[in-house]
Structure 1
Amino acid sequence: MSAIDAVELTRELIRKPSVTPADAGAMDVVERTLAGLGFVCRRMRFGEIENLYARYGTTRPNLCFAGHTDVVPVGDVAAWSKDAFAAEVVGGVLIGRGAVDMKSAIAAFAAAAARAIAAGQVPGSISFLITGDEEGVALDGTKRVVEALAAEGEAIDHCVVGEPTSSEIFGDMVKVGRRGSINAEIEVTGVQGHVAYPHRAANPVPVLIRALAALQARVLDEGYPEFQPSNLEVTKIDVPNTATNVIPGVARARLNIRFNPTHTGAELAAWIAAEADKAAEGTPCKAAVTPQISGEAFLTEPGPFTELVAAAVADVAGRAPELSTTGGTSDARFIRALCPVVEVGLVGQTMHQVDERAPVAEIRMLQAVYERLIARYFEAFK
């Protein structure tokens, strides 16, 4: 068994332009790498999405690493200082789409697992749950894999997700939970007509305005232990009307709520629908709400596992990380159905940006964190 160079493996992965939902051979690289370490690999394809579940060992405890090989689009190609998929190292910094989010974490954990296996430090099992559908709609990725593994009775005891959780400097933050997320589209249908004859029409715009004003007027909460306050943001308002003398027949808006455990997605969806209906009362207009709940809020309670992760980070970074629930959603929202989950990775400041980049030294530091985490895990959870 040969050692794995985390930086070179990251570069190999970046050179596979796996923009969601394309795989471009990225999953083959992960599978080949893990199979070479003795992992039993299962490709789990759902729809057009490539997923992989790989496990080394057959006994418990089973420590799982979860991540994604898919990346967001490059954007303005001309704005990049280097080819986004060339994976060039300039001045000790690796530039490329996926360098931070999150091909480097996959490579770092694979390299850490290789060392642990070679040192005989895996009396239980190590597994990888890798998807190609985290940056997209996330319907055929981790969600489907988790459902399949749960149906089979696959036992996963704890999970580490390699999202870029550090905020300003490496190791200053890990994520122990996430807020929930709900998107909703409100469509108000009225009656189109001439602006000079409003009695023959029903304008949907005032109804939509009343609904949005009522929704934004509510203070959802003042926060929740370990969570920031929930927030509602209107993200789009659309009235498809190009004429100046026509009362439109329809008006639409989209909004998103990031919510803490004070709420559930279903409760918020019902509230949005009720406010839309109330705004339409007494008018000929009809309001319809289409909600999409991306995930519920969750928290991995403080305890031996969170302490173990924090200690591994502190050993390498020289600082105790903040245990945070801030930021957007991640696939941890699906994995929590199987086991406690903590997220720890690189500094996320350049993710999704032009010239996404990661210092080579920090990729190696992340590997060191994972090495300590694996070794201590099997000592703590025997």
Structure 2
Amino acid sequence: MTDALAITRDLIRCPSVTPADAGALGVLEALLKQAGFETHRVTFSEAGAADIDNLYARIGTEGPHITFAGHTDVVPPGDETAWSVGAFSGEVKDGYIHGRGAVDMKGGIACSVAAVIEYLRGNDGKPRTDGMGSISFLITGDEEDVSINGTVKLLKWATERGERFDHCVLGEPSNQEVMGDCIKIGRRGSQSGTLVVEGKQGHVAYPHRASNPVPDISRLIVALSDEPLDHGSAQFQPSNLEFTTVDVGNTAGNVIPGLARAKFNIRYNDCHTQESLRALVEERLAKACGNRIRARIDWLPSNSNVFLTKPGAFTDLAVAAIESVTGRKPELSTTGGTSDARFISSYCPVIEFGLVGQTMHQIDERASVADIATLTKIYRGILDRYFA
């Protein structure tokens, strides 16, 4: 096995279903220590959330400083009897390595570790002695769940120690169809809330004595959904508001309910801040309610803000490394859901580039052995160019 494939296998064999670590960080720490990194295991706690173990490792003391980020926690495997091989076997079969986390994102972490170790050895197999700058790893076990005791706190801890990051590569599975087709340079923000409409409970035979919130919440859902929030921006697709549930909590067929609720989520672009977005939706709600409907929005706290790494020297460097290995010039994309890049972007420019994400979170999640080799070469190319 190549180094990257062997590391991927060893990580998959740690059943680190969030928030469990199951030895995954230990695998990485041992490799990085052997390569000369100074390592730190840091555990964070907060009431109402699981304690999370994190790993920070760095080699070098000078700039420029590039960090590779990622998470070793994975989603549950689901029905393990439905897998063609063991969900945590790391078995190589038909050109793929199988197991939960192979794509999202133990394979990506393994490739970055293998590429860095190879880079530090130098082309002649001897340890580098030039003043190359610094390389670090920010690895958490808290990305697939609430993201409270992971990257956001690890970054704060590192900064308080005096760490400063110049650029970051996050190994999330960014490619859509084939290696080299996409780099994520930003993500839309995410904001959730609940629309609450107040009525008055009563008997269906005497509607004049009640106030039915069901027709009202239906009108408000249409009003808030129909009008676009914006028409997109230079780097982002349009924002969208999607209602996901409607609930009146009523089990009786002859009772008009007194309250109706509808949950929604907004994925918003850089036309808005979290504050301006909320103000816009509240304004539209007030207009739709008029003087008759009594409604409010209960907003949920959100740490998923919109971010963008503007195209420039760093993205050009990554594009050149990808194109030299794959022959493809990747699209600079801002599509998709949230990731820990939303936290990292407050500290330094960050791009997301990892494996092809087609099987992530699925039964029989798997990564191509060839893609793992390709990604390792790309990361090595990024390092060569970064420290040139």
Paired residues of 1:208 and 1:279 also in contact (CA < 8 A) = no
Paired residues of 1:203 and 1:285 also in contact (CA < 8 A) = no
**2:296 equivalent to 1:298:** no
Amino acid across the alignment from 1:133? D
In structure 1, the partner of 2:349 is: 340
Paired residues of 2:195 and 2:295 also in contact (CA < 8 A) = no
Question: 1:207, 1:52 → 2: CA distance?
Answer: 51
**2:106 equivalent to 1:103:** yes
Paired residues of 1:164 and 1:348 also in contact (CA < 8 A) = yes
**2:362 equivalent to 1:359:** no
Question: 1:283, 1:125 → 2: CA distance?
Answer: 63
Calculate the TM-score normalised by the size of structure 2.
Answer: 0.92
In structure 2, the partner of 1:87 is: 90
Amino acid across the alignment from 1:15? R
Structure 1 gap ranges (5+): none
Query: 1:122 deviation in Å?
Result: 6.4
Structure 2 gap ranges (5+): 46-50, 123-127
User: Which secondary structure state, in structure 1, belongs to the residue aligned with residue 387 of structure 2?
Assistant: helix
Query: 1:77 deviation in Å?
Result: 2.2
Paired residues of 2:5 and 2:110 also in contact (CA < 8 A) = yes
RMSD: 1.8
In structure 2, the partner of 1:28 is: 26
Write the mapping of 1:1-382 to structure 2, written as runs, cut at 5 A.
Answer: 5-47=3-45, 48-119=51-122, 120=128, 123-280=132-289, 282-283=291-292, 285-379=294-388
Structure 1 residues 46 and 187: alpha-carbon distance in aligned structure 2, compared to 1, 3 A threshold: farther
Calculate the TM-score normalised by the size of structure 1.
Answer: 0.94
Corresponding residue pairs, total: 377
Task: State the identity %.
Answer: 54
Question: 1:258, 1:290 → 2: CA distance?
Answer: 14
User: Which secondary structure state, in structure 2, belongs to the residue aligned with residue 262 of structure 1?
Assistant: coil
Query: 1:204 deviation in Å?
Result: 2.4
| Cα displacement string for residues 70-100 of structure 1 (whole angstroms, at most 9, x for unaligned residues) | 1111123232111111111111111111000
Paired residues of 2:204 and 2:255 also in contact (CA < 8 A) = yes
Query: 1:266 deviation in Å?
Result: 1.9
User: Which secondary structure state, in structure 2, belongs to the residue aligned with residue 254 of structure 1?
Assistant: strand
Query: 1:14 deviation in Å?
Result: 0.8
Structure 1 residues 302 and 87: alpha-carbon distance in aligned structure 2, compared to 1, 3 A threshold: same
Query: 1:276 deviation in Å?
Result: 4.1
Question: 1:284, 1:236 → 2: CA distance?
Answer: 20
Query: 1:195 deviation in Å?
Result: 1.3
Amino acid across the alignment from 2:15? P
Query: 1:278 deviation in Å?
Result: 4.9
Question: 2:196, 2:43 → 1: CA distance?
Answer: 35
Paired residues of 1:108 and 1:370 also in contact (CA < 8 A) = yes
In structure 1, the partner of 2:125 is: none
Question: 1:281, 1:222 → 2: CA distance?
Answer: 26
Question: 1:258, 1:296 → 2: CA distance?
Answer: 10
Structure 1 residues 200 and 178: alpha-carbon distance in aligned structure 2, compared to 1, 3 A threshold: same
Structure 1 residues 306 and 334: alpha-carbon distance in aligned structure 2, compared to 1, 3 A threshold: same
Paired residues of 2:193 and 2:297 also in contact (CA < 8 A) = no
Farther off after superposition, 53-62 or 121-130: 121-130
Question: 2:278, 2:300 → 1: CA distance?
Answer: 6
Question: 2:282, 2:300 → 1: CA distance?
Answer: 9
Paired residues of 1:122 and 1:378 also in contact (CA < 8 A) = no
Structure 1 residues 14 and 6: alpha-carbon distance in aligned structure 2, compared to 1, 3 A threshold: same
Farther off after superposition, 89-98 or 26-35: 26-35
Paired residues of 1:215 and 1:275 also in contact (CA < 8 A) = yes
